[in-house]
């Protein structure tokens, strides 16, 4: 007999139409969001079109504009994704993205940095509605035994598209100028095309019933976070959330550090994009490797391996004065280690909660990581005033942080291993499921 509340996957494998459609939609969203963020980061660095508009450490402030909407909204949007059909939410957010992409074209045509920053915040807000729905949909379209494979592909494509968007921003800026179009306007046009394709793909995602149609809604997202933390605090899921946060504490710094190579190395926007592209290739490779070698299981020993690999790479970039080509290679290896780290954790976050609690757990986990990313972006923006924004200095700081994280992970391994067991699937419930609320 099928357990009450469990949504049966459409197929056992990861080659079904539902998962592929969801994967493509995720990838398009990640590509568009970060294409725009990367463009703004390149525009605000010293010597660029809007250089100085946000002061020293401007890339950190642009990144913070992306994170704050997630902090404010994820609690509510996690509830929304458990209460209503995730597919419906995905379709609506993809339609809104088309409208916002059109406004990007307008903001760039007007050459208005503050209008552009407002659009960035709005894009991040619609992504906050999209995030719990997309991640919560993965266990609905693949079986529990295929979560590692599914998340390997998800990490390979989606995380690659995050960095690819950042990478392509500089290339598109240069290409637009070469063909006689404003580079910034050209970026906006590309975003409209990607958003339209993403919207059309959503109609291939199969319909699925709401996981908890009786769930009480609350606009107080922070109350949702607090209740969710209370429900998971004595489970391995809490440890997975903590490990997830630690990853993004250092990973978010890479994105703001790399554009700062532009001035000291006298690089073009395209060359800066190639550096981000090297990390893209690494993330895709690392995620793919973990997805393949994990098979039908969640292999948590990949997590500390990835952390140690990132730590070594950060120290290499922080201590050695490397030429451009070797910086590319090192960034690629750091990206590979990052892909190895993140796939098992994402699988754990989807593996343990019951279906009617999954979106709230993912929303709370994402809220937590956005808190840490906001802290690191704010730290960068403030400390850059005192210590400067030189890449070697910041990679050394990041290396020290990563070393502390690597040591901490070894103490978390027993809890993570318990959470990865097959019998831990769909076992973490909220208080209402227990009948105590």
Structural domains in the chain plus CATH codes: 17-425 (1.20.1250.20)
Q: Answer whether 20's CB lies under 8 Å from 135's CB.
A: no
pLDDT of res. 180 = 60
Q: How confident is the prediction along the chain (437 residues), in pLDDT tens digits per residue?
A: 344 444 443 444 677 888 888 889 988 998 998 899 888 888 876 556 676 666 666 677 887 888 888 878 877 887 788 888 888 899 999 999 999 999 999 998 988 888 999 999 999 999 989 888 887 787 777 776 676 677 667 766 776 687 778 778 888 887 766 656 777 888 999 999 999 999 999 988 888 777 777 777 666 667 777 888 888 988 999 999 999 898 888 887 887 888 888 878 888 777 887 887 788 778 778 877 887 787 778 889 999 999 999 999 999 999 998 999 999 999 999 989 988 998 888 888 878 888 778 777 877 887 888 888 888 878 887 888 788 878 999 999 999 999 999 999 989 999 999 998 888 877 888 765 544 33
Q: What DSSP string runs through 353-381?
A: B-HHHHHHHHHHHHHHHHHHHHHHHHHHH
Collapsed DSSP state (helix, strand, coil) of residue 221: helix
pLDDT of res. 199 = 95
Q: Answer whether 207's CB lies under 8 Å from 85's CB.
A: yes
pLDDT of res. 219 = 65
Burial 265-297 (b: 16+ CB within 10 A, else e): eebebbbbbbbbbbbbbbbbbbbbbbbeebeee
pTM of the model: 0.69
pLDDT of res. 43 = 82
Q: Answer whether 151's CB lies under 8 Å from 286's CB.
A: no
């Amino acid at each position: 007999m099928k357990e009450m509340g469990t949504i049966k996957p459409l197929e056992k494998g990861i080659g079904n139409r539902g998962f592929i459609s969801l994967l493509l939609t995720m990838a398009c969203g990640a590509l568009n969001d970060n294409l725009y963020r990367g463009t703004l980061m390149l525009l605000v660095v010293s010597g660029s079109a809007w250089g100085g508009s946000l002061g020293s450490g401007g890339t950190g402030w642009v990144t913070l504009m992306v994170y704050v909407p997630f902090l404010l909204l994820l609690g509510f949007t996690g509830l929304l994704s458990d209460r209503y059909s995730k597919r419906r939410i995905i379709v609506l957010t993809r339609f809104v993205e088309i409208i916002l992409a059109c406004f990007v074209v307008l903001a760039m045509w007007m050459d208005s940095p503050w209008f552009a920053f407002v659009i960035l915040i709005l894009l991040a807000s619609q992504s906050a509605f999209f995030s719990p729905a997309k991640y919560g949909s993965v266990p609905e379209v693949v079986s529990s035994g295929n979560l590692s494979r599914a998340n390997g592909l998800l990490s390979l494509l989606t995380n690659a598209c995050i960095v690819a968007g950042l990478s392509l921003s500089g290339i598109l800026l240069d290409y637009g100028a070469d063909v006689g179009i404003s580079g910034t306007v050209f970026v906006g046009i590309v975003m409209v095309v990607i958003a339209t394709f993403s919207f059309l793909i959503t109609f291939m995602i199969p319909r699925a019933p709401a996981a908890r149609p009786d769930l009480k809604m609350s606009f107080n997202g922070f109350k949702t976070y607090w209740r969710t933390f209370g429900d998971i605090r004595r489970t391995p899921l809490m440890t997975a959330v903590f490990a997830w946060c630690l990853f993004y504490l250092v990973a978010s710094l890479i994105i703001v550090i790399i554009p700062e190579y532009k001035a000291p190395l006298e690089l073009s926007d395209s060359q800066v994009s190639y550096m981000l592209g090297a990390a893209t290739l690494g993330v895709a490779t690392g995620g793919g490797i973990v997805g393949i070698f994990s098979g039908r299981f969640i292999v948590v020993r990949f997590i500390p391996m990835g952390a140690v690999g990132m730590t070594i790479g950060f120290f290499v970039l922080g201590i050695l004065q490397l030429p451009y080509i070797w910086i590319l290679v090192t960034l690629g290896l750091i990206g590979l280690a990052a892909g190895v780290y993140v796939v098992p954790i994402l699988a754990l976050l989807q593996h343990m909660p019951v279906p009617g609690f999954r979106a709230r757990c993912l929303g709370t986990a994402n809220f937590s990581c956005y808190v840490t990313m906001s802290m690191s972006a704010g730290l960068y923006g403030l400390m850059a005033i005192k210590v400067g924004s030189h890449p070697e200095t910041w990679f050394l700081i990041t290396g020290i942080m990563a070393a502390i994280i690597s040591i901490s992970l070894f103490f978390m391994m027993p809890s993570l291993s318990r959470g990865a067991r097959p019998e831990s699937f769909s076992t973490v419930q909220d208080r209402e499921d227990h009948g105590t609320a």
